[in-house]
Amino acid sequence: MSYYKMIDVSDKLTNKRIAIASGKIYVGEPVFNLIRNNQMIKGDPLRLAEIAAIMGAKQTSNLIPLCHPIGLDKVEFINELVESDFAVQVYCIATTSAKTGVEMEALAGVTTGLLTIYDLSKISEPSLTISDIRLLVKIGGKSGTWFNPQINVLPSWIDQYIPKPINLSAINFATITLSDRAVTGVYADKSGELLQQLLSECGATSLGYYLLADDAQALKYKISELLNNRMSLNNPMGTSNPMSAMLNLIITTGGTGIAERDIVPEAILALGGREIPGIGELLRIYGSKFTSFSWCSRSLACVVDNILIIALPGSSNAVREGVECLVQILPHLIKMVQGGNHD
């Protein structure tokens, strides 16, 4: 029986991951001044530490037994002279596109950089202290963006690495769930509720939530009704800017499979709009990262009377993945549908 094992990451998604680590070495006033004035006997420890940090990050899996070998997209090493402590503060930023995190590489880069400064400084001062090696931030993967809870203040330059929140405030949407069993109360409409929640969390405004049976005529009637009433859905009399409440997105969930009652694609296309083939392809490709059943979906997107209509599968997982997939491009799609400038 083995006491150790590498974690199996074969089922994880490959995505961009970033880790930022830091550490500090206290060198004392004499050595600090030598470093600052570039007068160290063995050469400039700060420049050599940058090279060493990159080499250390690249060798992490060879040094840490259970650490996965990963390809590094970027390693950056930053050092700052802290005169108040007669110390050197260092940071290592490691970036990868992989199935597992890159925090060990960032920590290895910091450690190797600090040890290099130690090695070049010990000839002038043997009493040196390395401390506070720790992970500050990690980005990507299941946990999203993680900040070390023990750190109260981070350097301002770290902001450039933090993903900016998605802003869908210019989007007014309505959702339609197609499900015979949800209509009859066999189970709750979790996917429709989740769709409303996810879009609202990104700043979009909900103008309606509808639950229908798997019926083509009912779906076409509801979409037509939304198209005809787009300016009055959530626009009380006397509102100074009626355009602010105009519906510009309809998303359906359910009815995109290949069963006899899965009628959503046909019903939407029968409205006579322009299909956007790439959106359906994108949804299936993205969904296939999570399940091969994604290829059985007939998800689609089309434009009907200057309204973007997107059909997603009916499971909660598919809805979550669909929103994750589309959220970056939805503002651009809406802008183009509404007559924005062509790129």
Both 128 and 202 in a single domain?
Answer: no
Question: What is the reported pLDDT for 232?
Answer: 59
Are 137 and 281 in the same domain? no
Domain closes at, from 161, 196, 215: 161
- pLDDT score of 233: 57
Give the residue from 130, 161, 192 where a domain finishes.
Answer: 161
- 187 and 79, same domain (yes or no): no
Examine the domain organization and report whether 79 and 227 are in the same domain.
Answer: no
* 316, part of any domain: yes
CA angle 21, 111, 6 (to 5 degrees): 80
Long-range contacts of 263-267 (CB under 8 A, 24+ apart): 263/178, 263/214, 263/215, 263/216, 263/219, 264/178, 264/219, 264/298, 264/311, 265/298, 265/300, 265/311, 266/216, 267/216, 267/217, 267/219, 267/220, 267/223
pLDDT of 237: 38
List the pLDDT tens digit at each of the 343 positions of the chain.
668 888 888 877 788 999 999 999 999 999 999 999 999 999 999 999 999 999 999 999 999 999 999 999 999 999 999 999 999 999 999 999 998 999 999 999 999 999 999 999 999 999 999 999 999 999 987 778 999 999 999 999 999 999 888 889 889 999 999 999 999 999 999 999 999 999 999 999 999 999 999 999 999 999 999 998 876 555 443 344 444 568 999 999 999 999 999 999 999 999 998 999 999 999 999 998 888 999 999 999 999 999 999 999 999 999 999 998 999 899 999 999 987 655 4
Asked if 44 is an active-site residue, the reply is: no
pLDDT given for residue 178 in this prediction = 95
Same domain? 176 vs 156: no
- Coil vs helix vs strand at 270: coil
pLDDT of residue 15: 84
97 occurs within a structural domain: yes
Instruction: Specify whether 152 is located in the same domain as 179.
Output: no
- According to DSSP, residue 338 is labeled T
Task: Give me the pLDDT at residue 245, please.
Answer: 67
Residue 213 and residue 288 in one domain: yes
Kindly state whether residues 286 and 309 are assigned to the same domain.
yes
172 and 332 Cβ atoms separated by less than 8 Å:
no
Nearest-CA neighbor of 161 among 135, 139, 136, 134?
139
Q: Is residue 4 part of a domain?
A: no
> Do 230 and 156 share a domain, yes or no?
no
Q: Is residue 245 part of a domain?
A: yes
pLDDT at position 322:
94
Contact criterion met (CB below 8 Å) for 140 and 105: no
Compute, in degrees rounded to 10, the torsion defined by CA atoms 180, 182, 187, 188. 160
Q: Which of 119, 180, 215, 305 is catalytic?
A: 119
Q: Rounded to an integer, what distance in angstroms lies between the CA atom of residue 47 and that of residue 44?
A: 6
Q: Both 185 and 156 in a single domain?
A: no
Can you give the pLDDT at residue 10? 81
Cβ-based burial of 321 (10 A; exposed 0-12, middle 13-18, buried ≥19): buried
Question: How many other CB atoms are there within 10 angstroms of residue 295's CB atom?
Answer: 10
E strand or H helix that includes residue 145: strand 145-147
Asked whether residue 142 falls in the same domain as residue 54, the answer is yes
Are 81 and 133 in a shared domain?
yes
Residue 215 lies in a domain: yes
Domain hosting residue 96, numbered range: 15-161
Residue that is last in its domain, among 161, 188, 208:
161
Q: How many domains does the chain have?
A: 2
- CATH, residue 72: 3.30.70.640
Is the residue at 10 inside a domain?
A: no
- The CATH number linked to 246 is 3.40.980.10
3-state DSSP call for residue 131? strand
79, 49 Cβ separation under 8 angstroms: yes
In a domain, 182, yes or no: yes
Instruction: Count Cβ atoms within 10 A of the Cβ of residue 186 and give its class: 0-12 exposed, 13-18 middle, 19 or more buried.
Output: exposed
Residue 167 placed within a domain: no
